[in-house]
Amino acid sequence: MIADLAAFVAANTRLQPVPHAPEISLWLADEVTPIWRLTEEELGEMGLPPPFWAFAWAGGQALARYLLDHPQEVAGKRVLDFAAGSGLVGVAAMKAGAASALCADIDPFCGAAVAANAAANRVALAFTADDLLDGPPPEVDVICAGDVCYERPMAERVLDWLARAKANGTRVLIGDPGRAYFPREGLTFLSEYRVPTTRELEDLEIKRSAVWAL
Ligand SMILES: C[S@@+](CC[C@H](N)C(=O)[O-])C[C@H]1O[C@@H](n2cnc3c(N)ncnc32)[C@H](O)[C@@H]1O
């Protein structure tokens, strides 16, 4: 077990501007393999998911850009950044004037990453590691989900849960770079971006990524 997750985040990332939302700087890794291997070594487990929290994923970058450019979507509102990773979308929501932002992610490193990124951007972010998909969607005004359709079981589970939130009157915004399990049907297109990313993670250096409302 890693005793000090905050120290692990600081030691294996560097503070850098987000390519498509340079108003925001995050503690990010440059290469995926070393930090992934180190995570597995430190935790003594193999086959762990990648260190999602150490990268600004294309779908999250698009959604962050959208919120920064359309602050009326979140200004004065309670926002959930679901599957937050680094907390990028939560940071963008707070910079756009949200009343509060709760970041949710089940990865054990995310709490430390979100705290570091909140401090770096001088915003307040709450965090939960609970799997919110196990219960009813929380009472917030807006749920943001950046890049959540990369695996079929997760995508199906998330989209079903987001549909329940929408039925309760919550505004649901999704950022997606055309992942295999992103449905498009039943969604309203809002904006598209050409998001710089890295060949460490993606097949292209620029990923066309869009923001949709459920
Ligand atoms: C591709 S990353 C996107 C991170 C961030 N939203 C972004 O765009 O940079 C997907 C994230 O989903 C998280 N995740 C997977 N299952 C989850 C669940 N049931 N609840 C919350 N987060 C989950 C992973 O831990 C990971 O951080």
> 107-140 pLDDT, tens per residue?
999 999 999 999 999 999 999 999 999 999 999 9
pLDDT of residue 204: 87
Is the minimum distance from the CB of 154 to ligand 1 under 6 angstroms?
yes
Give the three-class secondary structure for 36.
helix
pLDDT band, very low/low/confident/very high, at 202 (cuts 50, 70, 90): confident
pLDDT band, very low/low/confident/very high, at 198 (cuts 50, 70, 90): confident
Asked if residue 168 has pLDDT above 90, the reply is yes
Is the minimum distance from the CB of 161 to ligand 1 under 6 angstroms?
no
Mean per-residue pLDDT, 174-179:
96
pLDDT band, very low/low/confident/very high, at 195 (cuts 50, 70, 90): very high
pLDDT of residue 50: 87
- Residue 169 CA to ligand 1 center (angstroms) comes to 23
pLDDT of residue 48: 87
Mean per-residue pLDDT, 158-184:
96
Residue closest via CA to ligand 1's atom 19 equals: 131
- Number of residues assigned to the chain: 214
Lowest mean pLDDT among 52-66, 107-121, 193-207: 193-207
pLDDT band, very low/low/confident/very high, at 1 (cuts 50, 70, 90): low
- Residue 99 CA to ligand 1 center (angstroms) comes to 23
Read off the tokens for 39: 């995570």
pLDDT of residue 199: 86
Mean per-residue pLDDT, 88-113:
97
Q: Backbone dihedral region of 87: left (phi > 0), alpha (psi from -120 to 50 degrees) or beta?
A: left
Q: Which of 180, 132, 127 has its CA nearest to residue 160?
A: 132
The overall average pLDDT reported for the chain is 95
* Atom nearest to 150 CA in ligand 1: 1
Q: Which of 150, 147, 143 has its CA nearest to residue 173?
A: 143
Asked if residue 42 has pLDDT above 90, the reply is no
Give the three-class secondary structure for 47.
coil
pLDDT band, very low/low/confident/very high, at 24 (cuts 50, 70, 90): very high
Residue closest via CA to ligand 1's atom 2 equals: 52
* Atom nearest to 84 CA in ligand 1: 6
Give the three-class secondary structure for 195.
strand
pLDDT of residue 33: 87
* Atom nearest to 175 CA in ligand 1: 8
With helix as H, strand as E and coil as C, how does 146-212 read? ECCCCCHHHHHHHHHHHHHHHHCCCEEEEEECCCCCCCCCCCEEEEEEEEECCCCCCCCCEEEEEEE
Is the minimum distance from the CB of 57 to ligand 1 under 6 angstroms?
yes
Cross-strand bridge partners of residue 81: 103, 144
Is the minimum distance from the CB of 104 to ligand 1 under 6 angstroms?
yes
Asked if residue 44 has pLDDT above 80, the reply is yes
